[in-house]
Each structure stands twice: as C-alpha cells, then as structure tokens.
C-alpha cells in the first residue's frame, strides 16, 4: 500500500490519511518509551505483535457490543480505523495495585483491590498526563456527564471481558489504559473505543509465577521484552504458523529490503 499524507506521529504509532474520507491508517512502530518519553528504546517486532493483539481484542469486543474505531487490519503493521475526535482523557482500569498507584498510596504491588478502580488522566505529554477527577473533566469541558457515563460503563464491561479472556490463557489482568473518541454523524456524536489495546498499555502477569509479560519489562530494565510480547500473542493463538518471533523476523527483513 502506497504511503499517504502523515497526519500525526506519536510515541508508538504513526497516523496516515486513509483511503476514504473519515478513515485513518494506523501504523504500529517498534519504538518503546517510558516515564513520559524520558526513557526510549526499541522492542524488535513489537509493532507487528501489537497490531495483531489489538486487532484480536477489538474484534472480540465488537462482538459483545463495544463500538470501536477499528475497521480491519491491512498488513503486518497497519490498521484501517475510523477517524474520531479523541477525548483528551486516558482511562486507567485497575484490578490489582501496581505502578503509580502503589507509589502514590504506598500499597504493596500485587495487592488485589476490593473492586475495580477507574482513574482518569488528562492527555498532555508536556504536563506528564496528570491524574484528574471527574470534577476537573466537567469543569474544563473535556467530556460531558453523559459521555463520562458511557466511558465508565464501557470501561467496566471491557475489563470484565478482558479479565476473563486473559485468565483463560493463564494471565492476570493487573491494569490497563483505554482511550475513547467521538464519532460524528452530522451534528451528533457518540463515544466509541479508540487507540489500541496491547501489552504496551496493559499490565499482564502470569497467573502462576507473576512473571511480567508487558512493557514493565522495558520500564524496569528486566530484559526479555520481545519474548514477553511474543508469549502473550502465542497464548492468544495469534501466530499458529511459525510463531510471533518468526513473523517479526520476516517483517524486519522486509523493512531492510524496503518492501
């Protein structure tokens, strides 16, 4: 597929003009960042694996009635998605204490929470994506009360589905990040799921060993980042022929040849 006009480049993806009005091509990079891009690196084949994992999860969520921007996967690194107006709020869904929650509140990492906790962050890299309350969201008009009701209801339903899906393959869903967008139809809009769901934005621990199978391996210099992402894809059954590492190697060779 020929390259189209680049619209935006983020830390993990590049967005290009889509083939039809109202569509975007989402390209998944191998770049890895942490701590608001203070730490940078590369995880070989990450973009290929995240593309497949995100496709798999979004497709299954659609089947249970969660609307999203996902249309179809185009190739190893690209998806065709609907163009939306991103709500400037990241939703953090937490089942177990970890990461910034443990640091902020002094709760030991790995402590199960009494119930699922939703946290909201204002999407602004320059400010470090600060934690905000629903009162801030309403006060500054980042989302309406009705939109936040839709967002929170979808976040809980997504969590219920994903926790069961991952538990079925021996993985504990610790927490994860969601983004939502407004899809317009004339003067009206509705909230739909956007961005991606992958080990970049999820904490995933092996149920038996608590081994980390996500980007915390990069954040904490644990090593084995590519292998962890591959293991998640393998357990999901996404690369039955040859495995994810072979697919990532093939993608690397194609990029070297400029194909």
- Each residue's pLDDT tens digit, 27-47: 999 999 888 777 899 999 999
Average pLDDT, the chain: 92
CA atoms lying within 13 Å on the CB side of residue 228:
23
Q: Mean of the pLDDT values across residues 230-237?
A: 97
Give which of 187, 168, 186, 180 is closest to 237, Cα–Cα: 168
Contact present, 45 and 228 (Cβ < 8 Å): no
The predicted model gives 181-209 an average pLDDT of 96
For residue 1, pLDDT beyond 50: no
Q: Six-digit token pair at 251?
A: 């993608």
The H helix count followed by the E strand count for the chain is 7, 14
Q: What is the mean pLDDT of residues 171-184?
A: 98
Q: Mean pLDDT over residues 196-217, rounded?
A: 97
Q: What is the pLDDT of residue 3?
A: 58
Q: Would the pTM of this model clear 0.75, i.e. be above it?
A: yes
247 pLDDT tier (thresholds 50, 70, 90):
low
> What average pLDDT score do residues 192-197 get?
98
Angle between helices 46-63 and 225-235 in degrees, nearest 10:
30
Cα distance between residue 132 and residue 9, in whole Å? 25
- Per-residue pLDDT tens digits for 65-101: 999 999 999 999 999 999 999 999 999 999 999 999 9
pLDDT at residue 194 in the model? 98
> What is the pLDDT at residue 259?
46
Beta bridge partners of 92: 119, 177
Q: How confident is the model at residue 4 (pLDDT cuts 50, 70, 90)?
A: confident
Contact 60, 164 (CB under 8 A): no
Whole-angstrom distance, CA of residue 242 vs CA of residue 25:
27
pLDDT (mean) for 145-164: 98
* pLDDT for residue 255: 55
Q: What is the mean pLDDT of residues 190-200?
A: 97
So what's the pLDDT on residue 210? 97
Residue 20 predicted with pLDDT over 70: yes
Percentage, residues of the chain above pLDDT 70: 91
Domains of the chain in sequence order: 6-84+225-243 (3.30.200.20), 86-206 (3.30.470.20)
Going from the C-alpha of 76 to that of each of 72, 73, 123, 190, the distances in angstroms are: 12, 8, 28, 30
Mean pLDDT of 244-248: 55
DSSP letter assigned to residue 128 = T
State mean pLDDT over 139-154: 98
Looking at residue 254, what is its pLDDT?
55
The pLDDT score that the predictor gives to residue 148 is 98
pLDDT at 24 over 90: yes
């Amino acid at each position: 597929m020929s390259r189209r006009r680049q619209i935006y480049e983020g830390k993990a993806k590049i967005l290009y003009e889509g083939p039809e009005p109202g569509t975007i091509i989402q390209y998944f990079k191998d770049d890895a960042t942490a701590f608001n891009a203070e730490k940078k690196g590369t995880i070989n084949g990450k973009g290929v694996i995240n593309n497949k994992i995100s496709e798999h999860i979004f497709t299954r969520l659609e089947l249970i009635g969660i609307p999203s921007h996902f249309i179809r996967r185009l190739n190893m690194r690209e998806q065709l998605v609907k163009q939306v107006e991103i709500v400037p709020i990241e939703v953090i869904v937490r089942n177990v204490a970890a990461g910034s929650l443990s640091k902020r509140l002094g709760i030991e990492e790995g402590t199960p929470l009494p119930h699922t906790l939703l946290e909201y962050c204002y999407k602004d890299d320059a400010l470090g994506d600060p934690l905000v309350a629903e009162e801030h969201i309403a006060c500054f008009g980042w989302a309406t009360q009705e939109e936040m009701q839709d967002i929170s209801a979808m976040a809980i339903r997504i969590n219920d589905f994903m926790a069961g899906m991952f538990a079925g393959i021996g993985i504990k869903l610790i927490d994860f990040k969601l983004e939502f967008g407004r899809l317009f139809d004339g003067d009206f809009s509705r909230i739909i799921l956007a961005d991606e769901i992958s080990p970049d934005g999820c904490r995933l621990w092996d149920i038996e060993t608590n081994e980390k199978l996500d980007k915390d391996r990069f954040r904490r210099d644990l090593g084995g980042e590519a292998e962890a992402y591959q293991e998640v894809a393998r357990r999901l059954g996404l690369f039955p022929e040859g495995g994810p590492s072979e697919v990532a190697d093939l993608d690397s060779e194609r990029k070297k040849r400029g194909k």
